[in-house]
Amino acid sequence: MSKANEKDLLQSNATLPSGSKRRYVKSKSSKKKDLATTAEKKPSKPETVPATPVAPEYDVPAAQDIVFQPNPGPQTEYLASGEREVLYGGAAGGGKSYATLADPLRNMNNPDFSGLLVRHTTEELRELIQKSQELYPKAIPGIKWSERKSQWTTPRGGTLWMSYLDRDTDVMRYQGQAFNYVAFDELTQWQSPFAWNYMRSRLRSANKDLGLYMRATTNPGGVGHAWVKKMFIDPSSPNKAFWATDIETGEVLKFPSGHSKSGQPLFKRRFIPASLFDNPYLAESGDYEAMLLSLPEHQRKQLLEGNWDINEGAAFPEFNRKVHVVEPYAIPRSWTKFRACDYGYGSFTGVVWFAVSPSEQLVVYRELYCSKVTATDLADLILETEHEDGPIRYGVLDSSLWHKRGDSGPSLAEQMNHKGCRWRPSDRSRGSRVAGKNELHRRLQVDEFTEEPRLVFFSTCTNTIAQLPSIPLDKKNHEDVDTNAEDHLYDALRYGIMTRPRSSLWDFNPATQRSGFQASDSTFGY
């Protein structure tokens, strides 16, 4: 078949069953020409054309004109993903824009398809529309663009709106409408999850074959960095599907009681990272990489490395998941163990458990993050949680919990101690916050002798790992963190490390065969 007679094609691994060959069909005009040529060669035996001609099929590699072919790896995975909500991106240059445009093409020829693709502003939307005008007419012959409606319509009736959502109130334009596909390009440009959550309510379809999908692309950074990170990055490892969670509590979203599916998870999410090096067309020359390398450190880590733990103004930019997060292992019973807690009933309570290795490395091996739990109930929960840990040397608790409530009766700390959940007060003297922050910086550094960081976290401590790199500096005092941020687990970390814990091996006295560990608090004797 000549190139002139070929139809433009869209090739996508996402639309094909596993193991199937990609094929395309000859056009009718090309078929008739071939038949005529055959008749000229064999006039004595003219070929009979069937009433319903069956077009011959050819392997796609034989085609001369391919409209779009996804890059192997993340881009192909994104187009093939089946989870309800998927975030694609991370580093710059990973092919996010074309993936966004190509994704709805799999279903746009279905007359029941109704999709929506949004950008934050009209100026940003214009660039996306221009790219779609280059791609869509080649991919779907006969597709029409309406400038007035800002809408694509296929010959079979499928529609794709392309619009903007500048303010939260803009979502009201879609009140009463239904879509089976909604996509946000550059999701971190939205300051809050309001628009994303509202558009989820517009996701419905009577055609079960189409499915319901929400898709997003973005880089780290931007005004919405924190909530996007909580929704897609923190709950699970990259490329691994997980049940959708509440970004405030971290709890899995489930059907309510009384529902036929009561207690079952609602739907799954997934984060698919991509980088410049997953896009050979852009990475090959090295020019774009050189530009990214020239950026300031925090921007370079976000856009070149796709690092979600780096945010402008972050208090602890040295935190690195690859360095400071380890997979859980059995803690030897000989290691000193202790805990620290920042208590809050109306907000959140953060509890972290530490183990001290023989090299004096602090290992945060467990966390507890909860709200609306009384002090006595918290004591019971802690004791139950650490039942099999072996000896817990001591606990350190926010010193404000020793304040008396009224003229009589025990304080909250005294109530917990009475339950057998023993604590001593945290250091809240003048300058203790700055000293604690500096000690945490030191602990995050790599020890020059052991070549390991002085503080690591088990990967199961998901809330602590999420909070620590997200805590911003105080804009008026860069020696401290912003106390208006979510800092309960950070405060617990600070209380713990400022007790200056040491490995029991260093406290052992060979002469007496007894531990030389001394009581740190004269009042409570431990």
- Name the token pair of 455: 């503080």
* Mean pLDDT of the chain, nearest integer: 79
- Please write the tens of the pLDDT for every residue from 298-327: 667 666 666 777 666 678 888 888 899 999
The whole-number pLDDT of residue 515 equals 44
Judge contact between 441 and 316, C-beta under 8 A.
Answer: yes
The whole-number pLDDT of residue 267 equals 95
Nearest Cα to Cα of residue 22 among 9, 6, 39 = 9
In this predicted structure, the answer to whether residue 258 has a pLDDT above a threshold of 80 is: yes
Roughly how many angstroms between the first and final C-alpha of the chain, as a whole number?
Answer: 86
The whole-number pLDDT of residue 296 equals 67
- Name the token pair of 104: 């709805």
Of the two residues 272 and 57, the one the predictor is more confident about is: 272
Average pLDDT of span 6-11? 39
Helix (H, G, I), strand (E, B) or coil at 84: coil
The whole-number pLDDT of residue 207 equals 86
Average pLDDT of span 173-195? 90
Q: Look at the block and give the residue holding tokens 């972290």.
A: 352
Query: What residues form DSSP beta bridges with 254?
Result: 265
The whole-number pLDDT of residue 428 equals 78
The whole-number pLDDT of residue 159 equals 95
In angstroms, what CA-CA distances link 95 with 66, 78, 300, 363? 17, 11, 18, 39
- Please write the tens of the pLDDT for every residue from 382-428: 999 999 898 899 999 999 898 876 556 788 999 999 999 999 999 87
The whole-number pLDDT of residue 311 equals 65
Number of H helices, E strands in the chain: 16, 20
CA 399, 403, 408 angle in degrees (round to 5)?
150
In angstroms, what CA-CA distances link 386 with 250, 340, 393? 22, 13, 12
Strand bridging mode 57-59 / 23-25? antiparallel
- Please write the tens of the pLDDT for every residue from 353-392: 999 999 999 999 999 999 889 999 999 999 999 998 988 9
Helix (H, G, I), strand (E, B) or coil at 203: strand
What CA–CA distance (Å, rounded) separates 101 from 325? 36
Q: pLDDT class for 44, splitting at 50, 70, 90? A: very low
Q: pLDDT class for 115, splitting at 50, 70, 90? A: very high
| HEC profile of 373-394 | CCHHHHHHHHHHHCCCCCCCCE
- Of all residues in the chain, what percent carry a pLDDT higher than 90? 40
User: Which structural domains are found in the chain, ordered by start?
Assistant: 3-62 (no CATH), 74-303 (3.40.50.300), 321-515 (3.30.420.280)
What CA–CA distance (Å, rounded) separates 430 from 414? 24
Helix (H, G, I), strand (E, B) or coil at 478: coil
- Please write the tens of the pLDDT for every residue from 191-224: 889 999 999 999 988 788 888 999 999 888 777 8
Residue 13: Cβ-neighbour burial (10 angstroms; 0-12, 13-18, 19+): middle
The whole-number pLDDT of residue 174 equals 87
The whole-number pLDDT of residue 467 equals 83
The whole-number pLDDT of residue 54 equals 37
Judge contact between 279 and 249, C-beta under 8 A.
Answer: no
In this predicted structure, the answer to whether residue 109 has a pLDDT above a threshold of 60 is: yes
pTM: 0.56
In this predicted structure, the answer to whether residue 289 has a pLDDT above a threshold of 50 is: yes
458: left (phi over 0), alpha (psi -120 to 50) or beta: beta
One-letter amino acid at 514 equals: R
In this predicted structure, the answer to whether residue 59 has a pLDDT above a threshold of 80 is: no
What CA–CA distance (Å, rounded) separates 104 from 93? 21
- Please write the tens of the pLDDT for every residue from 468-526: 887 888 777 778 887 777 889 999 999 999 987 876 655 545 555 444 444 444 444 43
- Name the token pair of 8: 């433009």
How many CA atoms are closer than 13 Å to the CA of 434, on its beta-carbon side? 5
Contacts of 128 (CB under 8 A, 6+ apart): 97, 100, 101, 117, 119, 162, 185
The whole-number pLDDT of residue 336 equals 92
